[in-house]
Structure 1
């Protein structure tokens, strides 16, 4: 995640925890990506790239930069002119995890 999504991500992580899904979180603050990002992605089976961007730009950058780890990345993005909500993020990840509402 980047930028203004941070508060919604923090709340979504709490909501997911309540549903039994433990998460980790890395906030990317600048490009180019550094070793911390590489190590984070390498550590997990699935990494959700949450962004308020129609084209999933951060996801695409990470695919290029971490090409050997690209199969671990899952894009969670939208852009409708509104900030991402914790509810929307929670539902997107829960759906990817095969959870019912």
Structure 2
């Protein structure tokens, strides 16, 4: 008697086969769609938020409210658009 643990089965040709372990089901691309959309959200929001908070930080240090916040929003929006274009051209 063999000590191999696994599955024995008969294939279509009638031959006895042995498989050591079960096959895991393949991951469907739809399983990871939420991760792709979350990644796109991060690519768009992080530059914009960095511009806003960076502008607020500089404005607080230099006491020049809202000059650098507006500049940060504009630069963050440009960086977000650049990332969006880069993402759409990948495929």
TM-score bracket relative to the smaller structure = under 0.3
Greater gyration radius: 2
With a CA cutoff of 8 Å and minimum separation of 6, indicate the structure with the bigger relative contact order. Answer: 1
Higher helix share: 2
Q: TM-score, normalised by structure 1?
A: 0.23
